[in-house]
Structure 1
């Protein structure tokens, strides 16, 4: 019986990803219909929309982590891993983009996952900075924010059909490294005014 429940829940989650990625304002009835289950069955697994969004957010975070881990497994430097990670993350735009408008940060499980991801990214950027990828005078927190926001920008480009995931990843990396890279003259460094 437990396996049936798990597979039903997973099926509902897959249906929710499909429905919400096409129409973020879709109802739970739309999700239930797409999943081929009754609303009562959906509500046995998810109390309401917020509960479903939290489950989708946690699933999406796990998918992102797994995609990045797989893609970067053989990278020799943190700098290369950060670049390769963009190439793993951007193809998930169609599946995950709608979650950007459905904040579930008030859920402690989601908040912890986001905090963990931010800690990992901060560490990786600090290590890439030590490798010379980024200007040491640019605060790591700024680079972390830029990286995250460039992912969102890339997802928006992909979702709008204005770029392929590969093109968006290349543009994001180019923007990040040219804007925060180690090549900018220190005379133009806004963090240490002369």
Structure 2
């Protein structure tokens, strides 16, 4: 499975592509940051994020895009920018018919480090170790994007089994009512 992880942000939008399957060594195919100038107007910044994500989709052809789920932060301006960049990433994937998965920061931290309260340095260290890199990706947004991709690859098999079980249960329940 090839996953593009997106750590959304207006100033720095982390992007990273990881390939592999759960239980096997993973491979980093690319990592970087889409940057926009803080003094540019919002429309131009969102357009720059879109163009950057489109380049990553063109270059790496992921099967899925994993985006950090936006959560409430104390700074409303920050959360709005994050939500807008997140929406752009989802739109780019949807336009191409690529499935999108959302993961919360604590889900990603728990999957990669074992603790949902891990700090950025711990996440960066584990991403470095898991992908056998010589140094942690910089800035932290890039490491976070790789962590999102890793999280999805590891969690996807369990999520798929759960979705299948729910669908099977729903089908049986519906069939029982119509019989």
Greater fraction strand: 2
Alignment TM-score, normalising by the size of structure 2: 0.35
Greater fraction helix: 1
Q: Rg: which structure is higher? A: 1
Higher relative contact order, chain-length normalized (CA < 8 Å, sep 6+):
2
